[in-house]
Amino acid sequence: MPRPKSYYPSISRRRFLRQGSALLGLLAGGAWTRPGLAKEGLPPLPAASIRPSLAAPLPPLDVKIGQMLMAGFRGLTLEESPVLQANLRDERIGSVVLFDRDVALGSGRRNIASPEQVRHLVDQIQAAAVTPLLIAADEEGGQVNRLKEAYGFPATVSPAYLGVMNDLEKTDAAADSIARTMAELGINLNLAPVVDVNVNPNNPVIGSLGRSISHDPATVAAHAEQFIAAHHRHGVMCTLKHFPGHGSSRGDTHYGFVDVTETWTEEELIPFRKIIADGMADAVMTAHIFNATLDANLPATLSHNIITGLLREEMGYDGVIISDDMQMGAISNYYAFDEAVQVAVLAGVDIIALSNNIRFARNLPEQAHSAIRRMVEEGKISEARIDQSYRRVMALKERIALA
């Protein structure tokens, strides 16, 4: 869930190639260490096919709904966020997402200040949770990274740089550094890699920011799988984004409606298909793009045709599906909040992502939780549909020994 483009510094192709080469040398040589943090990663993940027993007893409805919500919050410590404390105590959320900047305030103070502070924050949050949490962050590398060098974390290179190098060993070294850092902090879900194909290099939110690995779908898939494999060595999950492909867009869904009908092709599905077929897809994040070729009425996040029909039924994916941030303009400018949440759940989304960062609303997670519960009570969403998402989320947590 990257923040609006105004927060990305510009960087030339020559500069990112020059800096990237130097950084990869440091990463491969292990020159950077984090004082006071463990240097060993977690055990490798078990096989992706593991699922909890369908006969396992299910908790109350409120708890199941809570596992479907990923929320952002303000504070460098748990004490700074009484609302988060209450949501954890009452099991109203199942995941949190960390940011380094507070977009709504235009402030650099959000959740990340130093390695030691983040480790303490994550430990506090997990200790307060009744059911262990997915702790997520966007750590793609390059311009989209929350764990910045300025806060004491290792420097990173962009996916575009790695694609230009087209050396899987370099990609492995870069991804291993990211994954090791996240594991040492207790962050167990990376909202990366981007597997959007670089169809439009001038794309304001993908191509121009160096977030796409390549214009070649096979290259995207190969490097994304290497990125994922490196994370799995450290017990960190990954998230493919943005389904069904954002690389050909001419607009930014942070700000409003983005139509890719005339620019999108099925080649943009190739990386998703390959990674899913190879059993390496931990989670998939939706795009808020509109594509009349796939659904003539709704953007992808809200589309049953795209989420359930294409991704689940045609492509055979049965893992967790996470929405992109529901506060982004492509959704919030055109749909009432409760309506968007309802339609996303009915489309097949398992985790509703609420950054609470583009705009901050103190009770946003509670609003989403209450809306879903009311829809179940009114018969607009079946409890069986909630059970599907609950089981998928718990299966993902079980793979990192959280369940």
- Reference 391, options 62, 45, 64; nearest CA is 64
Contact in structure between 190 and 139 (CB atoms under 8 Å): yes
Best CA proximity match to 70, nearest among 90, 84, 49: 84
Strand spans (E) along 330-379: 352-354
What is the C-alpha separation between 53 and 63, in angstroms, rounded?
Answer: 18
Q: Smallest Cα–Cα separation from 123: which of 78, 153, 81?
A: 78
CB burial class (10 A; 0-12, 13-18, 19+) of residue 93?
Answer: buried
Task: State both tokens at 233.
Answer: 């060595």
Q: CA 289 to CA 285: how far, in whole Å?
A: 12
Q: How far is CA 357 from the centre of its chain?
A: 15
Instruction: Check if the beta carbon of residue 235 is closer than 8 Å to that of residue 195.
Output: no
| Residue at token pair 């492995």 | 172
Which residue in 266, 173, 163 sits closest to 222, CA to CA?
163
210, 108, 116: which is closest to 158 by C-alpha?
210
Give the span between the Cα atoms of 270 and 338, in whole angstroms: 33
Q: List active site positions.
A: 254, 324
| Spatial separation of the C-alpha atoms in residues 165 and 160, rounded to whole Å | 9
Contact call for residues 181 and 141 (beta carbons, < 8 A)? no
Q: What are phi and psi of 12, to 5 degrees?
A: -80, 160
Within a 13 Å sphere around the CA of 386, how many CA atoms are in the beta-carbon half?
A: 26
What's the CA gap between 1 and 350, in Å, rounded?
A: 16
Tokens of 198: 């670089």
Tokens of 108: 């650099």
